[in-house]
Structure 1
Amino acid sequence: MNQIKVIIPAFNEAESIAKVINDIPKIVDEVIVVSNNSTDQTETNAQQAGATVLSENRKGYGYACLKGMDYISKLENKPNIIVFLDGDYSDYPEELTKIVQPILEDNADFVIGARVKRLRENGSMTNPQIFGNWLATTLMKFMFQSTFTDLGPFRAIKYDKLLALNMEDKTYGWTVEMQLKVLKQKMTYIEIPVNYRNRIGVSKVSGTLKGAVMAGVKILGWIFKYSFK
């Protein structure tokens, strides 16, 4: 029996978090929401929706993901698959079954939900996001012969493979670090096209100039670091 756990990093997602949790398919046996220093009702709303709620006061997407992984590492029964999902309702949580299918049926190690243009709602990705994705995936293709087209946050990975990646990034570089390490360790991966809509609330990364710049610097830093390893 495959056990699936979902980790959702969340910073002030009170309006959306319950919607995300409620739309997650029943094949998931635990939803873990990591409140990343939220100051609104994110934690309360997530608990009421049935999630396990953790707190991580150090600001950063990677910090929140690592907190969720630390919690799982202490469980007696470890999952087979970990799914990462944002808490802003921009992804369609019900598509989780599509994301895990290549792992369950084809033994893939890692799956990304690719936010392809034809399935994206107008305005759901900003121009800096679209350009950053293109630049990062183009560099990965050039340097590592990768076939990635997106750094999408909706992703699934075998738990043992996730541990083997030895994830480090604490902030904006988490997604690209994971993909680079998958490439370096020659894990099997696939992209599955997913729908994507305008998020509820304001993005903490692409919604601010500082966030967009910092994310870009982090992403490029990881790519060039690994290109010379």
Structure 2
Amino acid sequence: MVHPRVDVIFPCLNEEGSLPWIMSRLPEGYRAIVVDNGSTDRSAEVAREHGAVVVSESRRGFGSAAHTGLLAASAPIVAFCDADSSMDPADLPLVVDPVERGDVDLMLGRRRPTSARSWPLHARAANLALSFLIRRRAHVDIHDLGPMRAGHRERLLALDLQDRRSGYPLEMVLRAKAEGWRIEETDTPYTERVGRSKVTGTLKGTVVAIQDMSRLLREVRRP
């Protein structure tokens, strides 16, 4: 693929089991950028074998991996997606198409679990509380800070995002709101992941994510 329409960033830590399926589900015109965030398995090799661009980021953290992918992208539209098979890349047009049409500046995928095991109860409760705080403090009408999202590459870079841990997705929304972006969300199916989540799959990971995001919300200026 010489000139992809969309670059899709997949932060990756030990996801060799899910990558073949993930790569096979990309729509035409979409290019995968897999950011290896210190994997100890064959994630990088598997991703390359299935046609992905692979870049490495040694600094651990979701934000570190996601931002490295953004810097490596060259397509006009950039999307983000988890690499654990919890989201189907075939659904990416749900968040990409409205951005390409110019209807919205940042489109978020609102996760809709397909089974009771898709989304751990503690993670779902934390997301509900966080979404409420985002609506209340930042006045962004969203109900999920989901990992599937899309925006224009140059405008995303201009946001100058600084968080390199779990707060990166929230910082993107908050800075986009401050810049007057049109932010919307659309339903996206959410299934049981392959392996355990590095962020919300454990209580410790959930607590760290809440701490990172709470700090960002405290910095929001009330109107």
Q: Normalized against structure 2, the TM-score is what?
A: 0.93
Give the Å deviation of 1:2.
7.7
Q: Distance in 1 between matches of 2:25 and 2:5?
A: 18
Q: Are the structure 2 counterparts of residues 94 and 151 from structure 1 closer, same or farther at C-alpha, using a change threshold of 3 Å?
A: same
SS at match of 2:190: coil
Partner of 2:16: 14
Partner of 1:200: 194
Find the counterpart in structure 2 of residue 57 from structure 1.
58
State the distance in 2 between where 1:179 and 1:199 align: 25
Indicate conservation of the 8 Å contact 2:87/2:189, yes or no: yes
Q: Deviations over 1:101-137 (max 9, x none)?
A: 1112243111011013xx5322211122112211111
Which residue of 1 is the match for residue 221 of structure 2? 227
Aligned pairs for 1:204-219 (under 5 A) are 204-219=198-213
CA deviations 1:6-39 (Å, max 9, x no partner) are: 11100000100121111011121x2110000000
Q: Distance in 1 between matches of 2:199 and 2:128?
A: 17
Deviation at 1:228, TM superposition (A): 5.7
2:35 and 2:55 in contact (8 A); partners too: yes
* Alignment check: 8 A CA contact 1:62 1:172 kept: yes
- Percent identical residues: 31
- SS of equivalent residue, structure 1 residue 169: coil
Aligned to 2:68: 67
Match of 1:152 among 130, 146, 149: 146
Aligned length in residues: 221
Contact 2:11 2:36 in 1 (8 A): yes
Give structure 1 stretches of 5+ with no counterpart. Answer: 73-77
Question: How much does 1:196 deviate?
Answer: 0.5
Shift of residue 95, structure 1, vs aligned partner: 0.5
2-structure distance, mates of 1:88, 1:227: 35
Alignment partner of 1:175 is 2:176: no
Task: State how 1:115-134 maps to structure 2 within 5 Å.
Answer: 115-116=111-112, 119-134=113-128
Moved more, 217-226 or 83-92: 217-226
Q: 1:2 & 1:54 partners in 2: Cα distance?
A: 17
Q: Which runs of 5+ in 2 are unaligned?
A: none
2:108 counterpart residue number: 112
- Decide which of 100, 103, 116 is 2:99's aligned counterpart: 103
Whole-Å separation in 1 of the counterparts to 2:140 and 2:108: 13
Provide the residue aligned with 2:42 in structure 1: 41
Matched to 1:189, the amino acid is I
Amino acid across the alignment from 2:111: R
Distance 2:10 2:94 in 1: 18
Deviation by residue 1:56-91 (Cα, 9 ceiling, x = unmatched): 11111111112112223xxxxx42110001110000
Larger mean CA deviation between 44-53 and 120-129 belongs to: 120-129
Equivalent pair of 2:140/2:183 in contact (CA under 8 Å): no
**22 and 108 in structure 1: CA distance in 2 versus 1, 3 angstrom threshold:** same
Query: Is contact 1:172–1:215 with CA below 8 Å preserved after alignment?
Result: yes
Check conservation: 1:2, 1:81, Cα contact below 8 A.
Answer: no
Equivalent residue number for residue 75 of structure 1: none
CA distance, structure 1, for counterparts of residue 89 and residue 17 of structure 2: 16
